[in-house]
Amino acid sequence: MAIPQLTTEQLKAARAAATEARRSRSALKARVRSGELTLAQALDVANEDEVLAHVKVIDLLKALPRVGDKRATLVMERYDIAANRRIRGLGRHQLAGLKAEFGER
């Protein structure tokens, strides 16, 4: 199957859409990093938005305060979440576990 040839306008539109998607995902992680959103709130927002559902779980965990590579990896292993899993691919038990793990204290 050959890749379809896109016009210049179509390429420009695709690039703009991809840039906007990256900015939206970055903004979600920044809101989590700043404490504006909790992990539970971020997961709920991402489940409602098609673009935000593509955020990698490990990246979202590392955006949390006091969570680095090691702790994020341990949490992912504890809930049997693959390293390349995105929010959209989480099961209900995994979502519940993450929300409980990082619930408000």
Rounded to 5 degrees, what angle do the CA atoms 31, 36, 39 make? 75
The CATH number of the structural domain formed by 8-101 is 1.10.8.50
Q: How buried is residue 41: exposed, middle or buried, by Cβ count under 10 Å (0-12/13-18/19+)? A: middle
Predicted TM-score of the model (pTM): 0.86
> What is the per-residue pLDDT across 7-30, written as a single tens digit (0 to 9) for each?
999 999 999 999 999 999 999 999
Q: Each residue of 67-98: pLDDT tens digit?
A: 999 999 999 999 999 999 999 999 999 999 99
Residue 53 C-alpha from the chain's centroid: 6
* Domain spans in the chain, listed from the N-terminal domain onward: 8-101
Residue 105 has pLDDT above 50, yes or no: no
User: Is the Cβ–Cβ distance between 23 and 16 less than 8 Å?
Assistant: no
Mean pLDDT score, 51-80: 95
Between CA 66 and CA 62 the distance in angstroms is 8
